[in-house]
Structure 1
């Protein structure tokens, strides 16, 4: 089989273990081998993958390793990687927060208090109103909400793309996927010793959860720092009775004309639903258009 195909097959530790067991059994026997000969170390699905990939070829009485020397050489090349994967892997480290990130987090928490404290909300909304009042005089409220939602969607997507450490996030996903695959293979072949070892590695990997949370939350604090004031201003406009006399609501498909403060989707008011629809649509458009990777 081609070297690239064999290398791809042996990317995971579970398949390297299976291939190594098959090669060892083949070397120990003078005749062909069957799956029953290695079923304690190789699952049925792994056996099938070795056959479909051409590592094993069929004969009249069983199977043989197509090219033992090539397989042995490829397994030897993966020895270091396999050793690393079977020992306690080091915690995945992400970039630490800067003093600016921490300041942004404190600021976001302070702004968040505006949802419960009317004084804070009024102060923030009054400052925003100095910039947004001229826009309200030019455009109807539903268009203002659309513009603000698209604007927040644009900078949210940009900040998430720039501040998210996608390489570290992918490394964590790959590590957990590899552990899951090895666990399933060990369960299928009934290898209790391997299951205990993998469970220990999974417990060690759980220590990465805090780092993963910090990794994902870093762009969020910057997004909240810019988004919360906008949302508080919209809330202040609608609930505080600051909309113009002509701003009664909007026409919604199936629901008809709905007032801005009335519940439209569960307990969510019309203006909140309209804002989130516009924001999510703009973010999806930007991510698809510019192939921006979103976080998970």
Structure 2
């Protein structure tokens, strides 16, 4: 990379309007009268400012000529204007404002941590499960347990989708992802060209963009807190129903027949220690979540620009 090309790239990065000024100078030098690759102030003063003209002379893009100022290196100047080739200059990404958690968000996060205690301490588990049993207990008397699990999975899939759609800003996610994608693409090109200068500049930009990772995490974790806040009690209740870690089941559950395993209990491990009811819940949850998203036409992934 020549010195002139590097200077042009630096100027364009500092001031985008200088790109137009340089292009005007290139055209005037090519189409003007007199010596080739020379241009006079009188030829361009109607299209560029005196400040821009002075910057080009100061940076030795224009040097003294016979009848005016000559282009220091036309090829280097043109290469410097090549946006695609300028790996140190990314697209215009304006960092979005970081999402601020409300008091309710923080309370939900604190309550969720408290719910996790229920998995380890029986008194807490019994209180939470007993409260949830007021909702699902009557249903246990009407339909088999596998239907109850389907109802729970449908409910969790519905509110999970609605919470993610309502609390996660997909436009912000798109900005974060587009910027990281742009940096990765330019880094890959710079590595292929062995452009050490570009690699250094891109690495610095990547370090500055680390805040984007935190922003993406906060956008994704906020709805997740509310989803866990509602889902963990339901999970505790199902553990309580089937019998937690060998404790007595709270309901008399029917056996069921599944492929490859035959007749099994709900607490039978089918994938290592993972019990039948957990596998059935996750299968139903994934299926119902997809149905809800398609039915409500809700997009759960950020779209790149």
TM-score with structure 1 setting the length: 0.69
- 1:199 maps to what in 2? 203
Question: Residue 156 in 1 paired to residue 160 in 2?
Answer: yes
User: How much does 1:130 deviate?
Assistant: 1.8
- 1:65 maps to what in 2? none
**What is the alpha-carbon distance in structure 1 between the residues aligned to residue 175 and residue 229 of structure 2?**
29
Q: How do 1:67-86 and structure 2 match up within 5 A? A: 85=90
What is the CA deviation profile of residues 16-58 of structure 1, one whole-angstrom value per residue up to 9, with x for unaligned ones?
xxxx9xx9xx9899xxxxxxxxxxxxxxxxxxxxxxxxxxxxx
The structure with the largest helix share of the pair is: 1
Q: 1:137 aligns with which of 135, 141, 153?
A: 141
**What is the alpha-carbon distance in structure 1 between the residues aligned to residue 98 and residue 258 of structure 2?**
45
Q: 2:217 aligns with which of 209, 213, 218?
A: 213
The higher relative CO (CA closer than 8 Å, separation ≥ 6) is in: 1
The structure whose Rg is larger is 2
User: How much does 1:234 deviate?
Assistant: 0.5
Q: How do 1:170-185 and structure 2 match up within 5 A? A: 170-185=174-189
In the alignment of these two chains, the number of paired residues is 227
What SS does the aligned partner of 1:243 have?
Answer: coil
Question: Residue 250 in 1 paired to residue 256 in 2?
Answer: yes
Q: 5+ unaligned residues in a row in structure 2: which ranges?
A: 1-12, 14-19, 31-77
Question: Residue 237 in 1 paired to residue 245 in 2?
Answer: no
Contact 1:92–1:208 (8 Å) recurs in 2 = no
What SS does the aligned partner of 1:251 have?
Answer: strand
Contact 1:153–1:280 (8 Å) recurs in 2 = yes
- 1:113 maps to what in 2? 117
**What is the alpha-carbon distance in structure 1 between the residues aligned to residue 91 and residue 279 of structure 2?**
49
Q: 5+ unaligned residues in a row in structure 1: which ranges?
A: 1-12, 14-19, 30-71
Contact 1:164–1:295 (8 Å) recurs in 2 = no
**What is the alpha-carbon distance in structure 1 between the residues aligned to residue 296 and residue 241 of structure 2?**
34
User: How much does 1:248 deviate?
Assistant: 3.3
What SS does the aligned partner of 1:207 have?
Answer: helix
**What is the alpha-carbon distance in structure 1 between the residues aligned to residue 220 and residue 122 of structure 2?**
30
